[in-house]
Amino acid sequence: MSSIGYFSAIVKENHKKLIRLDNKLKTLQLQLSKSKNEDYDLERKIFSQEYEIAKISFIVIVFSVMMTESYIYDYAARHLGDSYVKKYFDRLDTLSKWIKIPKLITGKELSRRQLWAPPLQKIIKVRNKITHHKTQDVSIENYQKSLTSSNEVKEIALQSISLLQILADKISEIDPEETPWVQSFLS
């Protein structure tokens, strides 16, 4: 199995876990809201659940972006040659690769104005926030809170499968011969 296949399996497996954990969290939060007294045990369970959701969300986001980067590079290398791709595309940002590579291969461009571009930009931005932590004068707890406080990370992770499907559909639309590859990895 290629690295893209492993990335895909990791994303899909952890996305399912994330959905289960999020449903369990909602149940716990509902129980807490119905509780008449403070329930420290339930609050502890909720905190633990939120922590697990954050960890799984990080995995889904990081591996989803790794998949999109690996797939578009592989697509280019299979059609244009590895040395050509290394020379002209290796340092290009991921979004630009998704625009330029399909156009070079098929003559058809994936427009930035289509539905795929904003979610891809957002997931890359969140991945960068997760993986390229800037040293600050804050504790690890505050850093984790800054990443998870608005549920942004969880929501982006939950949406990742939709993004991957949109990318698969777009590539299949402009390059029907690529459909088996795309379907095996991105959808």
Q: Does the pLDDT of residue 25 top 90, yes or no?
A: yes
Task: Quick: pLDDT tens for 150-161.
Answer: 588 999 999 999
Banded pLDDT at 114 (limits 50, 70, 90)? confident
d(C-alpha 106, C-alpha 88), whole Å: 17
Task: Quick: pLDDT tens for 59-71.
Answer: 999 999 999 999 9
Q: Does the pLDDT of residue 74 top 60, yes or no?
A: yes
Report percent pLDDT > 90 for the chain.
Answer: 69
Q: Which residues contact 170 (CB under 8 A, 6 or more apart)?
A: 102, 110, 114, 116
* Range with lowest mean pLDDT among 37-41, 59-63, 163-167: 37-41
Q: Does the pLDDT of residue 6 top 90, yes or no?
A: yes
Q: Pick the residue with more confidence: 168 or 136?
A: 168
Q: What is residue 13's predicted lDDT score, i.e. its pLDDT?
A: 97
Please state at what angle helix 140-148 crosses helix 152-174, rounded to 10 degrees.
Answer: 50
d(C-alpha 45, C-alpha 49), whole Å: 6
Q: Does the pLDDT of residue 122 top 90, yes or no?
A: yes
